Amino acid sequence: MYAFNYQRAKSVRQAAGLLAKNGEAKLLAGGQTLLPTMKQRLASPPVLVDLARIEGLAGIERKGRAIVIGAMTKHADVATSTLVREAIPALAALAEGIGDPAVRNRGTIGGSVANNDPSADYPAACLALGATIVTNKRKIPADEFFQGLFTTALDEGEIIVKIAFPAPSKAAYVKFPNPASRYAMVGVFVAKRGSEIRVAVTGASSDGVFRWTAAEEALRSRFNPKSLDGVAASADGMISDIHGSAEYRAHLVGVMAKRAVSAALGK
């Protein structure tokens, strides 16, 4: 790790100000990606702005039919929240499957979503549930937020404050973990709200999380795993590495999607 300056922000406004002062400064949320990267000397931000002590950034509440989760809420708190478990059990289950206990007790939903790692779990939930990412400047629909590998709609100095998830009528997330890292090699989040069906896929595409519209269409006629028979994801643009070829990942997208639909139906 290289030397850096550490700043503890007291408010989102102050954090934004510190970011504005130093273009290379980085926000520190749970630090589960940033700190290991810095330890390996692969990142060397001159300034870290810690969000941990900002009041009101963590917490979960119900607002109408939506669950609103503060950006600094830890994965473990989402996983064990009664509110989340009742309204969107699939989201609680997803949080329970992130990393290991140490990661879940430090890592935050805002950090994960802002980082937009192509193998992260939360982006799939945001996209499939049609979440709204609320920042210090505006509200961004998930469909516009994720813009490819580690790329988001966030502007310079823009900070995620909370994320609002409309509760679905049925939803499930099923992932195929990378055997080594246990990050999602393919993760499929399926959600049904009224007649709207959304299928979001993480881990598979070299462009990051995406909606699998062909599967959504097929499920619209009948929300049943059988509807996906013969619907194949294209291997074009899928990640190919020692753990899985693009073809294998594309195949797994289909398998995981079916399993997610089954799980959403309680099968």
Partner 1 sequence: MTATGIGAPVRRREDFRFITGQGRYTDDIERPGQTYAYFLRSPHAHAAIRSIDAAAARATPGVLAVLTGDDLAADGVGGLICGWMIHSKDGTPMKAGAHPALAQGKVRYVGDHVAVVVAETLAIAKDAAEKIVVDYQVLAPVVDMNAAVKKGAPVIHDVAPDNVVYDWHLGDKAAADAAFAKAKHVTKIDLVNNRLVPNPMETRAAIGEYDGGSESFTLYTTSQNPHVARLVLSAFIGIAPEHKLRVIAPDVGGGFGSKIFIYAEETVCVWAAKKVGRPVKWTSDRTEAFLSDAHGRDHITHAELALDDKGRMLGLRVKTKANLGAYLSTFSSCVPTYLYAPLLSGQYDIPAIYCEVEGVYTNTAPVDAYRGAGRPEATFVVERIVEVAAREIGQDPAAFRKKNFIRKFPHQTPVIMAYDTGDYAASLDKALELIDYKNIGRRKRESARKGKMRGIGFSAYIEACGIAPSAAVGSLGAGVGLWESAEVRVNPVGTVEVLTGSHSHGQGHETTFAQLVCDRLGIPIDQVSIVHGDTDKVQFGMGTYGSRSGAVGMSAIAKALDKVIAKGKKVAAYALEASEADIEFKDGRFGVAGTDKSLAFGEVALQAYIAHKFSGQDLEPGLKEGAFYDPTNFTFPSGVHVCEVEIDPDTGVTRVDRWVAVDDFGVIINPMIVEGQVHGGIAQGVGQALLEGAHYDASGQLVTASYMDYCMPRADDLPSFKVDHTTTPCPSNPLGIKGCGEAGAIAAPPAVINAITDALGHEDVTMPATPQVVWRAARKAAFRTAAE
**Three-point CA angle 66, 174, 35, nearest 5°:** 80
* 16 vs 83: CA distance, rounded Å: 30
CB of 251 to partner 1, least distance (A): 7
Q: Toward partner 1, which CB reaches closer, 22 or 178?
A: 178
Q: Near partner 1 by CB under 8 A, which window of 25-33, 44-52, 53-61, 239-247? A: 239-247
Residue from 244, 250, 253, 260 in contact with partner 1 (CB under 8 A): 244
Q: Near partner 1 by CB under 8 A, which window of 142-150, 165-173, 220-228, 251-259? A: 251-259
Instruction: Kindly write down the DSSP assignment for every residue of 185-233, as one continuous string.
Output: EEEEEEEEETTEEEEEEESSBTT-SEE-HHHHHHHHH--SGGGGTT---
- Is the CB of residue 135 less than 8 Å from the CB of residue 153? no
Residue from 4, 255, 262, 265 in contact with partner 1 (CB under 8 A): 255
Question: Under the criterion CB under 8 A, does residue 40 sit at the interface with partner 1?
Answer: yes
Residue from 8, 170, 193, 251 in contact with partner 1 (CB under 8 A): 251
Beta-carbon contacts of 113 under 8 Å, excluding residues fewer than 6 positions away, are 71, 120, 122, 123, 126, 133, 145, 152, 160, 163
Q: Toward partner 1, which CB reaches closer, 20 or 102?
A: 102
Q: Near partner 1 by CB under 8 A, which window of 15-23, 202-210, 222-230, 245-253? A: 245-253
Residue from 25, 38, 239, 252 in contact with partner 1 (CB under 8 A): 252
| Contact set for partner 1, span 182-211 (CB under 8 A) | 183
- Is the CB of residue 171 less than 8 Å from the CB of residue 237? no
CB of 117 to partner 1, least distance (A): 12
Question: Under the criterion CB under 8 A, does residue 63 sit at the interface with partner 1?
Answer: no
- Is the CB of residue 57 less than 8 Å from the CB of residue 147? no
Site residues (CB under 8 A) for partner 1? 1-2, 40-41, 176, 179-181, 183, 242-245, 248, 251-252, 255
